[in-house]
Chain A
C-alpha cells in the first residue's frame, strides 16, 4: 500500500463540437483568466481550441485549489496526456505543404504539431517550472499522466502536479483512424480535464476534495484485470471494498464485467458521461468520482479505461476524509 494523493483542484473545459473555440471574445471566461496573468503587457494569443481548453482547465484547477497565479518555481509540474488532439493541426500543416510546397510550411503552425506544445503553453502562461511530461496513450493518455503524477508525488519529487488530458476532435485523421481501430464512447467531443494533485500530507487547503488511493496499468491479454488488480494492490484494498465502477472509455464494453469478476469485484458499473473525451476521458471520470466522493457518495470508486493500443488503466478514488 502506498500513500494516497490528494485531488486538490479540478478543471474541465469541453467543446460542443469539433471546431468551436472555447471563448475568444472579450469578456469570456478564457479572456478573463488570461487577463489575470502578467504577460509583460503583450496580449496572449492561443492558436487552437485544444490550447484554450487545456489552459482553462489548468487555470481552473489551480484556482480552485487556491494556488496563487502565476506559480513560479520548480514545485509544481505538469503531466499531460495528448494524442489525437493534435492530429488536425498536423494534417492542416502538411496539407499546406502539399498545396504550396515549402512556402506552405507555416512557421507558426509547425511548433503546434508537437504533442508537448500544449503542456508547454500551460507551463509558460502559468509559470510552471517543475517536471513537465507529455504522454501519448490514446484514450488512456490522461490516465497515464495521472499515474506518472502519482509517482512523482509519492516519491517526493514534486509538491504538486497538474495532471490530466486534452483532446480536440477533428476529422482529418479521425474518420480513417476509426476504421483501423478506435475505442468506442459515442460521438467524439473535444475537451480537457486537469486535476491538481498534491501529496496527502500537504492537503488541507480545500475542504471536500477526494483522494486517489491507487493506480494500476495492464497491457495485453489480461490488461483490464491486471490493471484493476494492480490498482487494488497499490491501494491495499480487497475487491469487495469497491463500491462502484465508473467506465472512462472501453474498447469492448463486454470485456469489463468478465475482467472484474476475474479479480473478484462485483460492484455496479456505470459509464462516465465523459467517455467520449478520448485523452481527457479518464481524468474527467476521476473528476466525477472525486466530486461525488466529496459530496458524500460512499466510496471507493474504481475508474477503468482501455485503449486499443495502450492497454488498460484503473484508479481508485475516495472521499478525502475517509481512512
Chain B
C-alpha cells in the first residue's frame, strides 16, 4: 500500500447529540449517559417491550416532516463530516470522490407509510415512496456533494457501517478514489421493532452489555460518517489527521441466520484478518470497541472471539461497548464505533461499558465497567457482527 488512508472528518447524529455536536456525543459516552428511553416515535403500547434509543423527532422535524428520518440524519451527519474535514464542494475532482453508505432498513419508514396508506386506500399512496429504496440515501448524499466517483450502498446487517468504512478504505488504498465519505445510518420504525420483539431479543429496561444480568438489546438510531482521504491529498490541503484506517476484513460465520456461531468463528477470523491486513500484532491493540449488544449469545460469542483473535493479550486490553448508551443503531453502529475509536485515540480515554452491574464468568475480560478510563491508545480494533453470520473488523491507528 503506497499511501495511508487517513480520516479527516467525523460527523455523528445520535440520541445523545441529535443536533450533531460531536463533543457532546463523546462527553456523554465518557460520562456513561444513556439515550435509552420510552419509545416516542410510534405507539409501542401494544408491545411487550417499550424502550429504545431515539433521536429527538423535534430536532429531526426541522428538516421537513415529509423527509424520511434516514435522509434527515444521514444528510446532517454527512455534512458535519465534510465540514469537520474542511471539504468544499468545489475542492476535489468529483470523479475521484464517492459515498459509501451502510444501512439495513434504508427508507423503511417511508415504506411503512406507503403500506399503511395502501391499506387505508389513500389516493396518494405512492407519495414519498421514492425515499424507500436503500440506495436512495447514497444517491442523495452524492448529489448533495456533487461526487461522481464510487457510490455504493452496503447492507450487511449490523456490520453495514463497518463494511462501508472498510470498503471506502479499500477504494482509496487501491487508488480507485481519493476521497470517500463512508458510514452508516438507520432509523427506528415499527417494522424493525416488531421483528425484534417477535425474536425476543429486546431488553425490557436497560442495555447491560457483558453483564451477567443482561436481558437483551435496545434498538437505536442515528447516522455517522467519516471522511477518508489519501494521506498525501489530505496533507496537500493542510487537513488535520484524526487517525488512519489501517486494516479491514469481513468474514462469514456460515452457521445460522439469526444466531452467532457459538465460538465466534467468523468474528475471530475477521479480527485476525484485519490485523494481518494492517500488519499489526495483537499486542499492539490498546482498545477494542466491542459489538456488545447486551444479548446473551452475542456477548458470550464476542468474548470468545476476542480471546481467539488477541490470544493472551485479550486479558490486558480494555474493551467496551457503547450500546448501553446508544442502543443498537444497526447500519450506523459500526460507523459510530469507528468514531469512538478515533476519539479515544485523540483524547487518550476509553468510554465505559455503561450499566455494567454483575460480572459474567463467561465474559471474563476487562470491559471497562461504568467509568471511563485514561489509556494511551495508538491502535484500536472495532468489531461488528450481525444477522446472517456477518462479521467485520476495522483496525484504526493514530494519525501521527
8 Å CB contact of B111 from A90, A119, A129, A180: A90
Q: Does A211 contact B (CB under 8 A)?
A: no
Q: Which residues of B contact A116 (CB under 8 A)?
A: 155-157, 386-388, 390
Q: Are B199 and A107 in contact (CB under 8 A)?
A: yes
The residue in chain A whose Cβ has the minimal distance to the Cβ of B139 is A309
Whether A179 touches B155, Cβ cut-off 8 Å, given contacts A91-B115, A123-B254, A226-B95, is no
9-residue interface stretch from A10-18, A56-64, A95-103: A95-103
Q: Which residues of B contact A220 (CB under 8 A)?
A: 94, 142-143, 146-148
Task: In the A-B complex, list the 6 residue pairs whose CB atoms are closest, starting with the nearest.
Answer: A120-B388, A110-B195, A132-B252, A105-B194, A220-B148, A180-B130
Q: How far is the CA of A160 from the CA of B154 in the complex (A)?
A: 20
Q: Does B89 contact A (CB under 8 A)?
A: no
Q: Which residues of A contact B154 (CB under 8 A)?
A: 133-136
Whether A131 touches B250, Cβ cut-off 8 Å, given contacts A90-B191, A151-B170, is yes
9-residue interface stretch from A30-38, A76-84, A190-198: A76-84
Q: Which residues of B contact A124 (CB under 8 A)?
A: 254-257, 389
Q: Which residues of A contact B250 (CB under 8 A)?
A: 131-133
Whether A151 touches B106, Cβ cut-off 8 Å, given contacts A98-B115, A124-B257, A135-B152, is no
Whether A114 touches B254, Cβ cut-off 8 Å, given contacts A91-B115, A102-B48, A136-B135, is no
Q: Which residues of B contact A127 (CB under 8 A)?
A: 254
Q: Which residues of B contact A107 (CB under 8 A)?
A: 195, 198-200
Q: Does B294 contact A (CB under 8 A)?
A: no
Q: Are A226 and B148 in contact (CB under 8 A)?
A: yes
Q: How far is the CA of A110 from the CA of B47 in the complex (A)?
A: 16
Q: Does A218 contact B (CB under 8 A)?
A: yes
Q: Does B253 contact A (CB under 8 A)?
A: yes
Q: Are B194 and A97 in contact (CB under 8 A)?
A: yes
17 new A-B contacts at CB < 8 Å, known A133-B156, A220-B142: A78-B252, A82-B155, A90-B108, A98-B116, A102-B47, A102-B194, A110-B198, A111-B258, A114-B387, A116-B390, A123-B253, A129-B254, A135-B153, A136-B106, A179-B129, A180-B130, A311-B148
Using a CB–CB cutoff of 8 Å, the interface residues on chain B facing chain A are 46-48, 94-95, 98, 104, 106, 108, 111-112, 114-116, 118-119, 125-126, 129-130, 132-136, 138-139, 142-143, 146-157, 163, 167, 170, 174, 176, 190-191, 194-200, 249-258, 265-266, 269, 273, 386-390
Number of residues of chain A lying within 8 A (CB) of chain B: 68
8 Å CB contact of B126 from A78, A83, A176: A176
Q: Which residues of B contact A131 (CB under 8 A)?
A: 249-252
Q: Are A176 and B129 in contact (CB under 8 A)?
A: yes
Q: List 7 A-B contacts (CB under 8 A).
A: A78-B252, A83-B133, A91-B111, A102-B194, A124-B256, A180-B129, A219-B139
**What is the minimal beta-carbon distance from A217 to any residue of chain B, in angstroms?**
6
Q: How far is the CA of A180 from the CA of B110 in the complex (A)?
A: 13
**What is the minimal beta-carbon distance from A178 to any residue of chain B, in angstroms?**
9
In chain A between 144 and 187, which residues have their CB closer than 8 angstroms to a CB of chain B?
A: 144, 148, 151, 155, 157, 172-173, 176-177, 179-181
Q: Are B133 and A129 in contact (CB under 8 A)?
A: no
Q: Which residues of B contact A133 (CB under 8 A)?
A: 154, 156, 163, 167, 250
Q: Which residues of A contact B116 (CB under 8 A)?
A: 98
Q: How far is the CA of A307 from the CA of B135 in the complex (A)?
A: 10
The residue in chain B whose Cβ has the minimal distance to the Cβ of A307 is B135
Q: Are A311 and B155 in contact (CB under 8 A)?
A: no
Q: Which residues of B contact A219 (CB under 8 A)?
A: 98, 139, 142, 147-151
Q: Which residues of B contact A114 (CB under 8 A)?
A: 104, 155, 157, 387-388
Q: Does A282 contact B (CB under 8 A)?
A: no
Q: Does A300 contact B (CB under 8 A)?
A: no
The residue in chain B whose Cβ has the minimal distance to the Cβ of A217 is B150
Q: Does A121 contact B (CB under 8 A)?
A: yes
- Specify which of A90, A115, A177 lies most central, judged by the most chain B CB atoms within 10 Å of its CB: A115
Q: Are B199 and A129 in contact (CB under 8 A)?
A: no
Q: Which residues of B contact A102 (CB under 8 A)?
A: 46-48, 194, 197-198
**What is the minimal beta-carbon distance from A69 to any residue of chain B, in angstroms?**
13
Q: Are A129 and B148 in contact (CB under 8 A)?
A: no
- Specify which of B48, B167, B252, B387 lies most central, judged by the most chain A CB atoms within 10 Å of its CB: B252
8 Å CB contact of A132 from B132, B139, B265, B390: B390
Q: How far is the CA of A106 from the CA of B199 in the complex (A)?
A: 9
**What is the minimal beta-carbon distance from B291 to any residue of chain A, in angstroms?**
16
Q: Which residues of A contact B142 (CB under 8 A)?
A: 219-220
Q: Are B134 and A176 in contact (CB under 8 A)?
A: no
Q: Which residues of A contact B170 (CB under 8 A)?
A: 151, 155
The residue in chain B whose Cβ has the minimal distance to the Cβ of A308 is B139
Q: Which residues of A contact B265 (CB under 8 A)?
A: 129
Q: Which residues of A contact B118 (CB under 8 A)?
A: 176
The residue in chain B whose Cβ has the minimal distance to the Cβ of A311 is B151
Q: Are B119 and A128 in contact (CB under 8 A)?
A: no
Whether A105 touches B251, Cβ cut-off 8 Å, given contacts A120-B388, A134-B155, A138-B135, is no
Q: Are B195 and A105 in contact (CB under 8 A)?
A: yes
**What is the minimal beta-carbon distance from A310 to any residue of chain B, in angstroms?**
5
Q: Are B115 and A94 in contact (CB under 8 A)?
A: yes
Q: Are B387 and A117 in contact (CB under 8 A)?
A: yes
- Specify which of B46, B114, B133 lies most central, judged by the most chain A CB atoms within 10 Å of its CB: B133
**What is the minimal beta-carbon distance from A38 to any residue of chain B, in angstroms?**
13
